Amino acid sequence: MPSIKLPLVVIIGPTAVGKTEIAIELAEKLDGEIVSADSRLFYRGMDIGTAKPSQAECARARHHLIDVADPDETWSLVEFQRAARVAIEDIHQRQRVPFLVGGSGQYIRAVCEGWSAPPQAPDPQMRRALEAWANEIGAFELHARLSRLDPQAAEQIDWRNLRRTVRALEVILGTGKRFSEQRQKGKTPYRMLVVGLKRPRAELYARIDARIDAMMAAGLLEEVRGLLKLGYSASLPSLSAIGYYEMIAYLQGKVTLDEAVMLMKRNTRIFVRRQANWFKENDPDITWYEVKPGIVEELVKKIQGFKIA
């Protein structure tokens, strides 16, 4: 680890707040590159429902860790952490500014705080038993069991993410300790400026609704149908992401299309509230900015001062 910590600009905020566009503008003005910390953007072919940056946007600023896996591949938190560090180091070596950008709290903190995974080794037998239990009672009920044993871990894990729920229970049952207490922080090689973006709640919810309507108009249903036709299982963790989960429910005849869209909007609001649990407005390590005209120019000055410090 170098004795002088390298600068890293971190841009966080809830879904639909405007992180992508602001980060691209900053990267253009400050000779930077973007390292995505959004776990949904890992997967090829999942473009519309993840609001993945377009080719035109990627041409404006180089992006890292987008389209790095197929939907049936699993990228663990440890794999992401390792890849993000490699990307950030590469950006520094080319004398450019790295921007770590995303709304996935655990992925951001894994890089920024130097997390190490719980030491409990995988237990295949217990994992199979938990997965069989999930098949019996459903992912939602299994997550409810987790919330009784470790409310903090459950709050940070979406119930649709069966893989993470199973891993948390596996660690708890194997060690007798809460999963949330076993995540270890290490030292970070970075000197960080953490920028939080926010909007008034009503404005943010209106943007979420508009984004989802635009996704539907752009062909989200066809995108999901195409992934299933390619042979990807509807039960894949990647396809439990908001948007894909609800469209699959529609295609399976469980809800109407209008109900699926309504569920997308509702589940996104719930997700936004979960994001707020990771990044609180009273966190002294985060400088919060309301998104409004002139914010990019304000942030350019802030980041220029941060780089010189």
* 296, 198: one domain: yes
Please report which confidence band the pLDDT of residue 1 belongs to, taking 50, 70 and 90 as the band edges: very low
186, HSE (Cβ side, Cα atoms, 13 Å):
12
What is the domain extent for residue 135?
124-181
* 48, 172: one domain: no
Is 199 a residue whose pLDDT tops 80?
yes
CB 217 within 8 Å of CB 203: no
Average pLDDT, the chain: 91
Sign (positive/negative) of CA torsion 253, 257, 262, 268?
Answer: positive
Residue 185's pLDDT is what? 65
* 189, 75: one domain: yes
The number of folded domains in the chain is 2
Please report which confidence band the pLDDT of residue 117 belongs to, taking 50, 70 and 90 as the band edges: low
Phi, psi (rounded to 5 degrees) for 6: -85, 145
Is residue 1 assigned to a domain?
A: no
CB 44 within 8 Å of CB 226: no
* 135, 14: one domain: no
The three-class DSSP label of residue 165 is helix
CB 204 within 8 Å of CB 17: yes
Residue 97's pLDDT is what? 95
* 228, 251: one domain: yes
Is residue 238 assigned to a domain?
A: yes
Is 3 a residue whose pLDDT tops 50?
yes
- Which pTM was predicted? 0.84
Is residue 64 assigned to a domain?
A: yes
Phi, psi (rounded to 5 degrees) for 98: -85, 135
Determine whether 56 is exposed, middle or buried from the number of CB atoms within 10 Å of its CB (0-12, 13-18, 19+): exposed
* 201, 261: one domain: yes
pLDDT in tens, 255-307: 999 999 999 999 999 999 988 888 888 999 999 999 999 999 999 999 999 97
Is 309 a residue whose pLDDT tops 70?
no
Pairwise CA distance, residues 269 & 8, whole Å: 29
User: For tokens 């943007």, what's the residue?
Assistant: 207
Residues in the chain: 309
* 17, 68: one domain: yes
User: For tokens 């997967």, what's the residue?
Assistant: 43
279 is written with which tokens? 């990044």
